[in-house]
Amino acid sequence: MTTSDRGFLQALWDFFCSLKLAIFLLILLAATSIIGTIIPQQNPLPPEYIAAIGGTGSMKFKVYSTLGFFDMYHSWWFILLLYLFTVNIVACSIKRLPRVWKTISEPTLVMDEGFERTLTLTHDFKKEGDAADLNEKMKAFLKSEFAEPVVTERDGEFHLFAQKSPYSRLGVYVVHLSIVIIFIGALLGSFFGYKAYVNIVEGSGASTVMSRKGVPIDLGFTVKCEDFSVSFYDTGAPKEFKSLLTVIDGGKVVIDKRPVIVNEPLTYKGITFYQSSYGPADEGGLYHLTVRERKGGAPVRLSLSMGERKVLPDGSAVQLLEATDEIGRFIPQFRGPAVRVAVEPKSGEPQAFIVFQNYPEFDVQRGADHIFTYEGADLKMFTGLQVAKDPGVWVVWLGCTLMVVGCCMAFFMSHKRIWIRVRKGHVTLGGTANKNQPGFQLAFDTLVDKLKTL
């Protein structure tokens, strides 16, 4: 290896060992993550959002697509930032950990005068007695008030050393390790897992889901939606929607009618089904209306599918235009199901109006020749499920646990060290802590006061 090669490698090593690089990458990761919270990260994208940025042919859409903003956390540049950050913290740990470990495993046992001058806290006082007697007193004192000391005798002097929480110095490296483990878990989920979705009509099942890229994925078992229900707030907003799911594997029911609501998913064989959306199924829906003439006569019962047109006995035609299970979302003054119909009388202008199920006499006020009553519908709903398989989730949990432990060690624990040098009629006390110096100084002063009273 030439000198220039060694110089380049050393420069590269120093670059990745830089704390400035770690801070820069952390800020960059946090800043770019904002993109993922602003721009929808789903496939297909909501039509409203596509329209808001000018459609799929707009320059903004093309730029976003090219940069991977619609699946940002899987984009090449975001993954590259994570790789760089991982290499950075590993390099920092490799460079600094041996020195920290030496501090823990090979502490300075003798407080000579040179070392004493490097300590932040020292106190010197006279004490009656020879060195051996004072050594025994100091040893017992440290053991009872601080920690078991190590005693070293040198040139007729006794040096006592005691420490607390030495391994708290490793807290930052535990955090580094936890980040690497979380990153590994995320990669496992990215390479060997998937996120997909599926819509299942009530009474039917699905054994295949669609990935976010539109690729069908075989589950290896069948998920059946036995029933679906939804409740609403007074404002018309959905309060809770619930699916009863059955899992059939190898022809056997392994999970029977398990309720699945938002934040209470169903997991089977490492695949998790989250309640995501719902809606009326296109197939098989019939809406029932009763029509009676204002001048009297027997009412006529109609059953219409969406968009269907039927002719009344007097020659007028009725067509079903729209339906909703909660009109309060569109007209806050009303509640319950409603339909919108169009009537084409034999003579006169066509009319389109809303018929409310919970207000059967409301249509009387319209003053038309025909009075409509909405009786309800025989509908099937579909449940929309997000499907996720993430084999790295337990690795991520392990990393998160280690991160909590590491943060507690790094922020709430301190490596405290005390030295005592004893010679005939003289005692010198020194101490230091790697964190919370003001708090340690109070503890040190308390030790000094107690020592003087021995």
From CA 245, how far away is CA 229, in angstroms rounded?
Answer: 12
For the sheet with 300-304, list strands across it: 300-304, 286-293, 370-378
Residues 14 and 98 in one domain: yes
Q: Does a structural domain hold residue 249?
A: yes
From CA 309, how far away is CA 342, in angstroms rounded?
Answer: 9
Residues 322 and 391 in one domain: no
CATH code, 219:
2.60.98
CATH code, 156:
3.30.160
Beta strands in 294-380, from DSSP E residues, in sequence order: 300-304, 309-311, 317-324, 338-344, 351-356, 370-378
Return the closest-CA partner of residue 395 out of 224, 264, 270: 270
Residues 275 and 290 in one domain: no
From CA 435, how far away is CA 337, in angstroms rounded?
Answer: 65
Bond preceding residue 44 cis, omega within 30 of 0? yes
- Residues spanned by the domain of 245: 192-280+382-399
Residues 393 and 344 in one domain: no
For the record, the structure tokens of 291 come out as 């029509």
From CA 42, how far away is CA 388, in angstroms rounded?
Answer: 13
- The pLDDT assigned to 276 comes to 86
- What is the largest distance, in Å, between two alpha-carbon atoms of the chain? 125
**Mind listing the pLDDT tens digit for each residue in 385-434?**
999 999 999 999 999 999 999 999 999 999 999 999 998 888 999 999 99
Handedness of CA 83, 86, 92, 96 (dihedral sign): negative
Return the closest-CA partner of residue 417 out of 164, 229, 130, 140: 164
**Mind listing the pLDDT tens digit for each residue in 162-212?**
999 999 999 999 999 999 999 899 888 888 888 898 999 988 999 999 887
43 contacts 68 by C-beta, under 8 angstroms? no
227 contacts 208 by C-beta, under 8 angstroms? no
Which residue, 72, 103, 134, sits at the end of a domain?
103
**Mind listing the pLDDT tens digit for each residue in 128-168?**
888 888 899 899 999 999 999 999 998 889 999 999 999 99
Angle at 382 between CA 377 and CA 388, to 5 degrees: 165
Beta strands in 325-433, from DSSP E residues, in sequence order: 338-344, 351-356, 370-378, 381-389, 416-423, 426-433
Length of the chain: 454
Higher pLDDT, 236 or 387: 387
Buried b (16+ CB within 10 A) or exposed e, 323-336: bbbbbbeeeeebbb
Report which residue type is found at 10.
Q
For the record, the structure tokens of 392 come out as 């790295």
Q: How far is CA 216 from the centre of its chain?
A: 26
Q: How far is CA 95 from the centre of its chain?
A: 32
Residues 53 and 38 in one domain: yes
Q: Does a structural domain hold residue 363?
A: yes
From CA 434, how far away is CA 429, in angstroms rounded?
Answer: 17
Domains in the chain, number: 4
Rg of the chain on CA atoms, in Å = 37
**Mind listing the pLDDT tens digit for each residue in 359-371?**
988 888 888 888 9
Residues 371 and 389 in one domain: no
Q: Does a structural domain hold residue 185?
A: no
Helix (H), strand (E) at residue 27: helix 19-38
**Mind listing the pLDDT tens digit for each residue in 320-352?**
998 888 888 788 888 888 999 999 987 778 889
From CA 157, how far away is CA 405, in angstroms rounded?
Answer: 41
Return the closest-CA partner of residue 157 out of 445, 444, 453, 427: 427
Q: Does a structural domain hold residue 176?
A: no
Whole-model pTM: value is 0.67
For the record, the structure tokens of 89 come out as 């913290």
Q: Does a structural domain hold residue 184?
A: no
For the record, the structure tokens of 426 come out as 């003289």
Q: Does a structural domain hold residue 346?
A: yes
Q: Does a structural domain hold residue 187?
A: no
Residues 270 and 387 in one domain: yes
Q: Does a structural domain hold residue 362?
A: yes
Buried b (16+ CB within 10 A) or exposed e, 200-215: bbbeebbeebbebeee
